[in-house]
């Protein structure tokens, strides 16, 4: 790195309006390939997807009428990419759900809220036909993965729930809406069953696989998967042993799950992953979450699992993921810094062969991208709110928007991570038809409230490979006042923090030259379009 020359007046103006930063600027060289080969990672417009806690599913989608706020958040992404949304409905509460035709929508029992977990999952859920039929309120074309109870170890319950799901998705309402059941998932994080009392403490991968085959055989026959396009997510473990003797993709493969009758319907392996377990937040923890090296070490540990999955021509997804456990760490998971983490995390995952990243959501969870319902308790400590909080997006939603814009609507986008010798700057280039179109850069240095000196990094841009080298570009910025702010972000001068989740405000334009490079302050992301 080198010291950047003194500011010109125009440079000072640009830096000031971006974020009121102090005049502390360093520089880094960035080389961007002008084209990529066909084997560069492909990325779909629904790379950033959602996993939704099953218990309060109706609060998300609506029961007798559509939840327009949630619909709009998904529709915004569709408008940018042209890609159908993909959502997973399940998680912890999937293993506490049973079906009853006598219930119209849902009956459930919740434990009392606590300061650590202000919005706990239901411990008992009885779903009726309307619970599943409410999927008709999703945007047309949405592909759904639905989790079925395996933790209860009740074959009749699995049968009844599967039949109810299939009946709903075969109904005219869902068919006319173009909503599809892409996958069934049997059980959530079965590797934890031996810890939470759902199985014996000696529960092993071989026992799991044998049990899973028995239950999944019933499930696949009930659903008539042989005569449908619905397939199965395999694994869905909370962690991975990365070996053939423990809970991992390698473990179920070694126990011949794929050669079983239901195993023949597995075409996707799902892994769950959280970046840590911490239930009270602080600025240091936020920087840890955002740090480039931490994101890469966290995700790269799954490379053996991804390779083992791809060796069997199966897709690999993060079917449930987010920042910290306990539904997120207060003052960390709900902040603007977490938006930068989400963006870097999802884009780097695509480089490892993870085709989709399903960020977990629940009503009132701290790490939500979206809060789709009115909240009466604080998401941070469970205290009553003097004024109920209306539906709103949280900072992480901007990461989904930026990823969607960067990927675009060509349907043939490839993305490559750029090699940048800076511990805080991440970069990705996006290509359509092999040709360079856009680049995203992220400065993950946390500028926290109360800090005085906000640094900036100057990117000196050059190109490699054959082709016409761009001379100029346009820029959009994710402007953030402080990494620990919970609101007030703007993307290209506009906001999604509106009453209906539709974009508001006046777009701001900025242009630059390749020769002049570009400055990116701490705690900011930019997208350059060539």
Average pLDDT over residues 79-84: 98
> Each residue of 284-342: pLDDT tens digit?
799 999 999 999 999 999 999 999 999 999 999 999 999 998 899 999 999 999 999 99
pLDDT reported for residue 24: 67
Retrieve residue 308's tokens: 């083992």
Percentage above 90 pLDDT, the chain: 93
pLDDT reported for residue 277: 83
pLDDT reported for residue 325: 84
Retrieve residue 33's tokens: 């390939």
Q: What is 48-407's CATH superfamily?
A: Glycosidases (3.20.20.80)
pLDDT reported for residue 8: 36
Fold agreement (2-41+413-529, 48-407): no
Bridge partners, 360 (sequence order) = 51
| Helix/strand/coil (H/E/C) assignment for every residue in 445-504 | CCCCCCCCCCEEEEEEEEEECCCCCCCEEEEEEEECCCCCCCCCCEECCEECCCCCCCCE
CATH T-level fold of 2-41+413-529: Immunoglobulin-like (2.60.40)
Lowest mean pLDDT among 75-84, 150-159, 270-279, 418-427: 270-279
**Mean pLDDT over each residue of the chain, to the nearest integer:** 94
**Nearest Cα to Cα of residue 94 among 142, 46, 165:** 165
Instruction: Give, in order, the Cα–Cα distances in Å from 360 to each of 76, 318, 357.
Output: 19, 10, 9
pLDDT reported for residue 19: 39
Lowest mean pLDDT among 126-135, 218-227, 284-293, 438-447: 284-293
Confidence of residue 25 (pLDDT cuts 50, 70, 90): confident
Give me the residue label for tokens 């300061």: 115
Instruction: Give, in order, the Cα–Cα distances in Å from 265 to each of 210, 224, 234, 268, 329.
Output: 16, 11, 9, 9, 37
Residue boundaries of the structural domains of the chain? 2-41+413-529, 48-407
Per-residue pLDDT at 43 exceeds 70 = yes
Whether the Cβ atoms of residue 423 and residue 413 lie closer than 8 Å to each other = no
Whether the Cβ atoms of residue 82 and residue 409 lie closer than 8 Å to each other = yes
Retrieve residue 260's tokens: 């079983």
Alpha carbons 172 and 273: distance in angstroms, whole number: 36
Over the range 183-193, which residues count as b (16 or more CB within 10 Å of their CB) and which as e? bbbbbbbbbbb
Over the range 393-418, which residues count as b (16 or more CB within 10 Å of their CB) and which as e? bbbbbbbbbbbbbbbbeeeebbbbbb
Average pLDDT over residues 363-380: 98
Per-residue pLDDT at 13 exceeds 50 = no
> Each residue of 400-410: pLDDT tens digit?
999 999 999 99
């Amino acid at each position: 790195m080198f010291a950047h020359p003194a500011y010109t007046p125009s440079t000072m103006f640009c830096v000031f309006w971006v974020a009121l930063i102090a005049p502390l600027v360093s520089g880094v060289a960035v080389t961007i390939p002008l084209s990529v080969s066909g084997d560069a990672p492909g990325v779909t417009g629904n790379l950033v997807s959602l996993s939704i806690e099953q218990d309060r599913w109706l609060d998300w989608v609506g029961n007798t009428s559509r939840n327009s706020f949630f619909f709009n958040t998904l529709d915004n992404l569709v408008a940018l990419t042209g890609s159908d949304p993909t959502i997973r409905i399940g998680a912890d509460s999937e293993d506490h759900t049973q079906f009853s035709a006598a219930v119209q929508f849902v009956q459930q029992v919740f434990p009392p809220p606590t300061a650590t977990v202000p919005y706990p999952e239901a411990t008992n859920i009885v779903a009726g036909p309307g619970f599943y039929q409410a999927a008709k309120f999703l945007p047309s074309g949405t592909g759904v993965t639905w989790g079925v109870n395996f933790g209860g170890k009740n074959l009749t319950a699995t049968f009844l729930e599967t039949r109810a799901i299939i009946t709903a998705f075969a109904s005219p309402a869902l068919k006319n809406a173009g909503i599809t059941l892409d996958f069934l998932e049997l059980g959530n994080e079965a590797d934890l069953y031996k810890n939470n009392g759902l199985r014996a403490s000696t529960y092993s991968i071989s026992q799991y696989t044998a049990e899973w085959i028995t239950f999944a055989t019933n499930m696949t026959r009930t659903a008539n998967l042989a005569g449908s396009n619905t397939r199965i997510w395999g694994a869905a473990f909370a962690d991975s042993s990365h070996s053939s003797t423990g809970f991992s993709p390698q473990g179920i493969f070694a126990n011949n799950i794929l050669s079983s009758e239901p195993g023949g319907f597995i075409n996707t392996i799902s892994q769950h992953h959280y970046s840590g377990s911490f239930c009270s937040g602080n600025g240091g923890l936020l920087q840890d979450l955002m740090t480039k090296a931490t994101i890469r070490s966290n995700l790269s540990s799954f490379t053996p699992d991804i390779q083992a999955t791809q060796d069997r021509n199966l897709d690999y997804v993060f079917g449930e993921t987010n920042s910290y456990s306990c539904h997120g760490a207060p003052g960390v998971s709900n902040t603007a810094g977490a938006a930068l983490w989400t963006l870097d995390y999802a884009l780097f995952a695509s480089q490892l062969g993870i085709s989709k990243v399903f960020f977990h959501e629940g009503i009132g969870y701290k790490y939500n991208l979206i809060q789709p319902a009115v909240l009466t308790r604080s998401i941070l400590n469970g205290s009553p709110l003097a004024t109920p909080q209306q539906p709103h997006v949280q900072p992480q939603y901007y990461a989904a928007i930026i990823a969607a814009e960067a990927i675009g609507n060509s349907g043939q986008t490839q993305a490559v991570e750029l090699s940048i010798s800076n511990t805080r700057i991440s970069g990705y280039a996006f290509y359509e038809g092999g040709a360079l179109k856009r680049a995203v850069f992220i400065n993950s240095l946390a500028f926290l409230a109360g800090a005085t000196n906000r640094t900036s990094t100057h990117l000196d841009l050059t190109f490699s490979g054959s082709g016409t080298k761009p001379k100029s570009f346009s820029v959009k910025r994710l402007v953030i006042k402080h990494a620990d702010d919970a609101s007030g972000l703007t993307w290209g001068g506009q906001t999604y923090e509106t009453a209906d989740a539709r974009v508001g405000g006046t777009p701001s334009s900025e242009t630059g030259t390749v020769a002049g490079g570009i400055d990116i302050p701490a705690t900011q992301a930019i997208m350059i379009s060539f």
